[in-house]
Structure formats: structure tokens, C-alpha cells
Amino acid sequence: MHLTIPFFFALYASVFVSAQQYAGDVIKNSLPTVAGAEVAFFKIKAPNGQSNLTLINYYSHGRNGKRIVESNIQRAVIAVHGLNRDPWTYETELLQAISRVTDPNITTDSVALMAPYFTNENDKNRGFPFSNGQSTTNALVWSDDQWLGGANNIYPTSYTNISNYYVLDQLVQYFDNPAMFPNMKQIVIAGHSAGAQTVQRYVILGPKLATRSPVVYWIGNPASYGWLSTTRPASTADRPTLPIASCPTYDVYTDGFTNFTGAPYFMNYGASLVEQGRPALLANYNSKQKAYARATHDLGDESMTCGTNTTGLNRNTRFFNFIKAFPASCPDPAGTACDTIDLVSASHNAGQMFNSSAGLARLFTDNFYGGHNRAFDYGYPREQAGDDPYPDPSQDDSSSGL
């Protein structure tokens, strides 16, 4: 027995040396501590093979306060922060939400909770060391808010070709690796607000990875969407939009996909797919499983461009216009492309969304045991035709006149 243990660890070290949690460089920081989690350093491998790049992230511990036992993990939940780049808040909120799950099997011993940190220039010295105008470590840093569209990193300057979407690909592959996580059943990539923008565009642009665990993308209250056609919804009295004539740049990435490889994002991740045209983007988007979550009290705007307003003047209108133009569907509830839409009585608040019955189902309990069960759509009455891809048969929805 005693002889097998060192051999086991040696094997792990050699196989997973390229992209791995705890294997990145230790980046000096003064980030907040989160009880039940640590600031961890994930080693990221670049497309050219360079592997000394580090993603800073918060990563949960098991209930004993120690690092997780990978072989006991059945689910990974990765939550992308919002515009404030505060992964500590998201890690805390995931930990609080999982504590509300009533199934005693669903705990931090069986679920890995990760909140990646997509840092920018403003995080210098607090999130990563910086001196004499230079970032001095291999910490991955992006420019401004460009991580919400998957732009390339700016630091370390030794390699600036890492989209944070490429990082998400590696996280999915890491958790899907059967040698590392033999009991993995489900991977959840969640984003709220700007994090939801990040995830929604990742669903459009990311390759459909051949994973053995299903991947579901939880999209909560984004201010804007990558729009999958060059037309925009007509303005109506109920749902006013800005006419495209008033916004010639309406389709420039990130609102649409015009100028994808040009200013201001200079994308290369997903560029060959974008070249194939919008139908290819839509087909890729539709091939994946989305769990949309809409807070019914969230009528905020937070548009950063006029293009966002051509899809609706607030987050609520933009959501309903988006799913009208690009319907959600659940062709097979046990399949891996069954979308759900939850209407949650909450404001623009990730913690409230995670804590809701709908949040707990999508983040933690749906398909926990690998039996492909999932909860019906939450939140009745519904608001418009087509907004109920997985209807709850116990709900009489005639009141909404659909």
C-alpha cells in the first residue's frame, strides 16, 4: 500500500503538467480571503505550447477545510464575475448557495466551485505584482473589460495570444478528464451580468468540445448579447428599441460580429467560425445547452454602446427580444441541448439568483447523479410565446394568454 502512493502522485504530476489547478505560478496578491476556499493558480497552456501562464482563481475546499479530493467530485461549477472583477464575491455566493441545497450528497465534498479572475490593468498590485510600468509575473491579464468578449490577454508580454475563452476551454477539459475526475457528471459554466455576457458569447464562439460530462451554460441577466443576425427587432410601444439608422456601428463586435478581427477587440479566438457566417454561429450556439435565468425586477440598462440599444432599451426587453429572434428549445429533456428559461423574482443580484430555487436547480441539482434529470422551467405566468422551452406541466399558464 505505502509503495503505491508515491507512484500514484508521480503519475499525476507527469500527465497533468500542462494545464492544471494548483500548478500555476504563485502570484503575490492581497486579494480578500474567502472562508471555505483559497486563491489558487491554474496553469494555462498557450496555443504555441508555452505553459508558464497562470490564471488566478478562487477554488473551494472540502468540508474539512482542506483541498478537495478530486475523485469524489461529481460536478464543477465555474462562475464568471461581473464588471467589478470580484471573483471573491462569486465564490462566496456559490458557497452560500450550495449550503442551501437540501440533498445531503450535494456539498463542497462532491462539487468543485471555481471563480476565475479575469484581471485588468486596474487590478495591478492588488491582484498581481506590477513595477516600473511592467507586470512582473506570468499572471494572465486582459485589457479593460475585453474579457467579456473573449479578447486576448495583454500580460505577460512574453505571450499575448490567450483569449479568456481559450482559458474556459481548458477549464472544461480539465474537469472533464476522467483520470483526474473519474466521477464527474456535469460541468456548469455560469455568468451573471457582465459574466453572463462573457458566457453567452463563449457559447457562440467556443468549439463544441467532445466532453464526456455534459456542459451547461447558465446565463443570468446580461446587459447585452452577441446578436446572431444582422437584423434587429422593430421598435414597438411595449418594447422600444433604438433604430439601426441611429447607430451605424450597431453590429460591431461585441453587439454583433462585424469587424470581429478589427478594432476594438481584434479577436482571433473563434475567427474561423465567424468567417463562416451567422448561420454557422447560430448552429454552434443551438448545439449547446443553455440555462437562461431572468430576474423579473431587473429593468436596468447599462448599455456601453448604442448597438446594445438596437436590441432593446433595457435588460428585460433585450432578453425577450433575443429569445424571440433565437428561440430556446428542449428537443429532448434527457439530451445535452435542452435549454431552460427561469423567471426569478429577484433584482440584478447574482447572490439572489444563485440562491433561488431555479438557481439551486441549475447550478447544483440538475443531472447531479448523471441521470439527465432536470427541473422544469421556473416562474409562472410566462411572458411571451416561446419563453418556456421545458414547461412545467403542473402550472396552468392560461393566465398569460399564450
Interface residues with ligand NAG (CB under 6 A) are 47-48, 50, 52, 96, 99-100, 103, 105, 138, 158, 161, 163, 166, 249, 252, 259, 262-263, 268-269, 301, 303, 305-306, 309, 313, 349, 351-352, 355
By beta-carbon proximity to ligand NAG, the closer residue of 48 and 394 is 48
**Least CB distance to ligand NAG at residue 369 (A):** 7
**Least CB distance to ligand NAG at residue 272 (A):** 8
By beta-carbon proximity to ligand NAG, the closer residue of 135 and 340 is 135
By beta-carbon proximity to ligand NAG, the closer residue of 174 and 387 is 174
DSSP category for residue 239: S
**Least CB distance to ligand NAG at residue 238 (A):** 15
By beta-carbon proximity to ligand NAG, the closer residue of 305 and 400 is 305
Residue 283: all three cell numbers together = 448552429
Between β-strands 141-142 and 153-155, what pairing exists: parallel, antiparallel or unpaired? antiparallel
Query: How many Å is the Cα radius of gyration of the chain?
Result: 21
The single residue listed with the C-alpha cell 453587439 is 255
**3 state DSSP class of 10:** helix
CB 102 within 8 A of CB 362: no
- The residues with which 38 forms a beta bridge, in sequence order, are 59
By beta-carbon proximity to ligand NAG, the closer residue of 159 and 382 is 159
At 293, which helix (H) or strand (E)? Answer: strand 289-295
**3 state DSSP class of 89:** helix
By beta-carbon proximity to ligand NAG, the closer residue of 52 and 143 is 52
**Least CB distance to ligand NAG at residue 19 (A):** 14
CA pair distance 140, 51, nearest whole angstrom: 12
By beta-carbon proximity to ligand NAG, the closer residue of 321 and 355 is 355
Examine residue 129 and say whether the peptide bond preceding it is cis (omega within 30 degrees of 0). Answer: no
Nearest to ligand NAG by Cβ — which residue?
262
**Least CB distance to ligand NAG at residue 249 (A):** 5
**Least CB distance to ligand NAG at residue 193 (A):** 14
**Least CB distance to ligand NAG at residue 354 (A):** 7
Examine residue 32 and say whether the peptide bond preceding it is cis (omega within 30 degrees of 0). Answer: no
**3 state DSSP class of 341:** strand
Residue 273: all three cell numbers together = 467560425
CB 226 within 8 A of CB 204: yes
Residue 317: all three cell numbers together = 426587453
